[in-house]
Copies of this chain bind each other. A is one copy, B any other.
């Protein structure tokens, strides 16, 4: 169970309610998930985090589904159960199929493997890859 009191809509002050309203409006839902309720003790932390998530996950040069899959990739790597479940659910609601999840996790697993190998062997970055290939 959460280590902080979760703030429900009913007991929330106006600043928190405003964020909750925006979360529900943006997502077209009628409930707010526990993550946000855990931040609401500090209304500014709640507001800032929500504004950032909303901006980051909005359509841009990357589409929203791709962004949700990147979120899953990071969450699986960080062993964050809450984030893995919530963003897998979000990705499904945006059209991710079982095949896509499976293929995504294939890449994530492989990346974690080769990350460990490169770090473990202390492999030097090839000159062609320096700066992420920025100047090549």
A interface residues (Cβ-Cβ under 8 A, vs B): 1-5, 31, 33-35, 38-39, 41-42, 44-45, 48-49, 51-53, 55-57, 60-62, 66-67, 69-90, 92-93, 97-126, 128-134, 136
Contacts and interface: CB of A to CB of B under 8 A. Distances in A.
A55 to B, nearest CB: 6
Contact of A1 (B1, B39, B80, B124): B124
A122 B31 CA distance: 20
A33 B81 contact: no
B5 A75 contact: no
A115 B112 contact: yes
Give chain A's interface secondary structure class.
helix
Nearest to A44: B55
Contact of A53 (B66, B82, B110): B110
A27 B115 CA distance: 20
Contact of A38 (B56, B71, B110, B121): B121
A35 B92 CA distance: 21
A136 to B, nearest CB: 7
Given A3-B121, A33-B129, A41-B102, A79 B77 contact: no
